[in-house]
Structure 1
Amino acid sequence: MWEDLKIATDAERQTWEWEPLQRVGPLPFGVNHEHVERALQNTARVHNHYAAFERQGVDVYYDDGGALRAVALNAVRGPQAFMNGTALTGRLPSELRLWLTRTADAGERLFMGTHDDPAFHDLGLVMRSQMCGDYVRSLPLFVAAEWAERLGHLASQVPEREWNTCR
């Protein structure tokens, strides 16, 4: 039986600014793990280029040199990130359909990634999905410029945990 999850409301979430390809909230791409821990005021063990900050609902991914290259915001409790006034975290897919279309119509390159997730190369964004009880909610995965052109091939760099929809 599915666990009955309480999805955080926007009012209950931290609000993070997102600068495509540069930073998500207090996390600039390219910093090391110690910087991430200080910014989130929490600790997490790095395993296989990945660390989970469960309390904040934030997962981070590092390259071979230990530089931050991707940040995923958990659909249930992760911070809220916005683009052009649209909330991206914890949304039903139907709530993002119009935003995806408008963003693509505005000239951003939209494609479907390896796991059929909509993604924008030029923004460094993959709109993942996460099972939340009986519903699927949006889980944005933001990537640095160094990984943006390889969005369709991130499965080889980002641990399998990220590509599983049930967490």
Structure 2
Amino acid sequence: MRWWDRDAEDRERWVLDPLVGVGPLRFGMDSDEVVAALGGPLFGGGQVSADGLFWARYQETGLTCIYDRGKILVAVAIDPLEGPLVQVGEVELIGRVPSELRTEIHALAYREGLAVGVNWVGDPEVAAWGVSMGTAQEYGLSAEGYVQRKDTLVTSVLLVGPELAHDPFATAPVMHWCDARERGRNPGAWPVMPGHERPHWEWVPLERVGPLRFGMTPPEVAAALDGETPAGRIGHFPHWSFAQDGLWYLEEDRFEKAGVSAHYWTHQDGVPRLGGVTAYGRTGPQVLYAGIPLVGMTPSALDEAVIQHLEKHDLALRFSPDGAAGPADLNLTLGTTRAGDSTVSEPAFYTEHWEI
């Protein structure tokens, strides 16, 4: 049963036993014991590395289990829309307004004499409970009955055993599931730059965005951005599951001052070439489509404006997997990024042959 067919009262309610387990799961179980405890859930994908790290998505139950070597359970990530409702003390952790839950976590931890930290995305982390909070886009059903994204976020959670509790996202099993090393850490604030302070970039679909022309090499991208040095780089080894050696392929450069990320594909000559640009929703340049501002906008209002324009001009409409509306032939995606308890639009522009 998917989340849109499931009422809140139909969701399981699990109690967290800090550093020991949650619901019917106990850290230290092997993967067969996990499946038995969950009643044989539908397997919804996963990944195994050569050194035995393993994660598996259990779609029917709405959670992801993360295993150490030997397929030993060390962490559980709960989906905010489909997973069980998890409680620690009297505090419910799943599907909440992030700022409201943050206040409740601090109050409970204070009463128990526990320290509350901040994880890499800026949300509360309590090592004594093995709790690291997160957020996800909230979705609902439209009047017509189809899934659509909302303008708000709801809370998710990563629960870990004692070996990982001090800094979960710095441990090998969690990094195998979600590698945050090359991502920018957030101190717990999400300010949005006012529109009048943003530079305006011209977008020529499938050719360029502002000073960045598709096909540029990384040095040319940096030069076009006034010589800015990337704040972070993301890439991969071609055979990561076997060994991290050989040629490393650059995938993304993050430019914090310019407020954009550059996405690369590797040309047949082995040189990375610019294939996409993301304009940061909170701090990036403003870009227009048919007079519609695409950056830093309320997602629902942006979706409505784009759909009205496309319908008025009888242009093809496509919906991305995350529910964003957009023109079908311009390789434009209208994603979102966090702004406190809400989201703002964060578009990405791609070259003609980039698959989106």
> Could you say which TM-score interval applies, normalised by the shorter chain?
0.7 to 0.9
Report if aligned partners of 1:29, 1:69 keep a CA contact under 8 Å in 2.
yes
- Seen in structure 2, the aligned counterparts of structure 1 residues 117 and 53 have a Cα distance that, compared at 3 Å, is same
Aligned to 2:71: 66
Aligned to 2:156: 139
Structure 1 or 2: more strand by fraction: 2
- Seen in structure 2, the aligned counterparts of structure 1 residues 17 and 74 have a Cα distance that, compared at 3 Å, is same
Q: Deviation at 1:33?
A: 0.6
Query: How many Å separate the matches in 2 of 1:76 and 1:122?
Result: 26
- Seen in structure 2, the aligned counterparts of structure 1 residues 6 and 94 have a Cα distance that, compared at 3 Å, is farther
* Deviation string, structure 1 residues 111-138 (Cα, Å, up to 9, x no partner): 1112222100111000111112222111
Report if aligned partners of 1:7, 1:77 keep a CA contact under 8 Å in 2.
no
Matched ranges for 1:1-167 at <5 A: 6=4, 9-41=7-39, 42-44=41-43, 46-48=46-48, 49-106=54-111, 107-132=113-138, 133-134=149-150, 135-151=152-168, 153-154=170-171, 156-158=172-174, 159-161=176-178
CA RMSD for the aligned pairs?
A: 2.6
Query: How many Å separate the matches in 2 of 1:7 and 1:127?
Result: 26
Q: Deviation at 1:64?
A: 1.9
Q: Deviation at 1:104?
A: 3.5
Report if aligned partners of 1:73, 1:79 keep a CA contact under 8 Å in 2.
yes
Report if aligned partners of 1:90, 1:139 keep a CA contact under 8 Å in 2.
yes
Query: How many Å separate the matches in 1 of 2:170 and 2:47?
Result: 20
Query: How many Å separate the matches in 2 of 1:14 and 1:162?
Result: 29
Report if aligned partners of 2:14, 2:84 keep a CA contact under 8 Å in 1.
yes
* Runs of 4+ that moved beyond 6 A: none
- Seen in structure 2, the aligned counterparts of structure 1 residues 9 and 162 have a Cα distance that, compared at 3 Å, is farther
Q: Deviation at 1:6?
A: 4.2
Query: How many Å separate the matches in 2 of 1:10 and 1:47?
Result: 30
- List runs of 5+ in structure 2 lacking aligned partners: 49-53, 139-148, 181-320, 323-356
Query: How many Å separate the matches in 2 of 1:151 and 1:52?
Result: 18
- List runs of 5+ in structure 1 lacking aligned partners: none
Query: How many Å separate the matches in 2 of 1:151 and 1:14?
Result: 25
Query: How many Å separate the matches in 2 of 1:92 and 1:116?
Result: 15
Query: How many Å separate the matches in 2 of 1:8 and 1:116?
Result: 30
Relative CO higher for 1 or 2, CA cutoff 8 Å, sep ≥ 6?
A: 1
Query: How many Å separate the matches in 2 of 1:72 and 1:142?
Result: 6
Query: How many Å separate the matches in 2 of 1:63 and 1:92?
Result: 32
Report if aligned partners of 2:42, 2:60 keep a CA contact under 8 Å in 1.
no
**Percent identity, aligned pairs only?**
27
Query: How many Å separate the matches in 2 of 1:14 and 1:109?
Result: 29
Residue type matched to 2:23 in 1?
Answer: G
- Seen in structure 2, the aligned counterparts of structure 1 residues 86 and 35 have a Cα distance that, compared at 3 Å, is same
Query: How many Å separate the matches in 2 of 1:153 and 1:84?
Result: 27
- Seen in structure 2, the aligned counterparts of structure 1 residues 162 and 80 have a Cα distance that, compared at 3 Å, is farther
Report if aligned partners of 2:97, 2:155 keep a CA contact under 8 Å in 1.
yes
